[in-house]
Amino acid sequence: MKKTGMMWGLCVAMGLSAISFAGERFSSSVFVNTTTRAFSGNLGTARNSSDGVQYLWCSTVSTGAGFCYAKDASGVAASCSTSDAEMVATIRALNSDSNLQVSYDSTGTCTFIWVSTGSHFETKGP
């Protein structure tokens, strides 16, 4: 009985959180912090920016390595690489309308990669 109640509670919570994003739109320009060794942003927002400076992207190669790169509007850039299979899989889930958050260490190795894709993120324009 307790499990059923918990499952219903979880379903309601998930439904309400989905509803709270209905119609909302978030723009997130590229943010690079070389002190905390992190960068983030929406790929769509970076693509649509009028400054001509921002970029945010990742790539993978068949050898199992992944790479992520960012530059903010003021020209501060950062990048990292990984051979961690789970991080490479996360990079491969990235698409042009995703939000990306990355942390890296002092050697330039990615320590955290988070990809989120949803209708509330700014989509890439032409």
In a domain, 83, yes or no: yes
Residue 5 pLDDT greater than 60, yes or no: no
Least confident of 58-67, 74-83, 102-111, 117-126: 117-126
Look at 25-39, 56-70, 84-98 and tell me which has the smallest mean pLDDT.
Answer: 25-39
Domain boundaries, position 91: 28-117
Maximum separation of any 2 CA atoms in the chain, in Å: 57
Residue 12 included in any domain: no
Tokens standing for residue 60 = 């993978």
**CB-CB neighbours of 84 under 10 Å:** 15
Is 39 a member of any domain?
A: yes
Instruction: Kindly report the pTM of this predicted structure.
Output: 0.78
In a domain, 92, yes or no: yes
Structural contact between residues 41 and 47, judged by C-beta atoms closer than 8 angstroms:
no
* Number of other residues whose CB lies within 10 A of the CB of residue 19: 9
The number of domains in the chain is 1
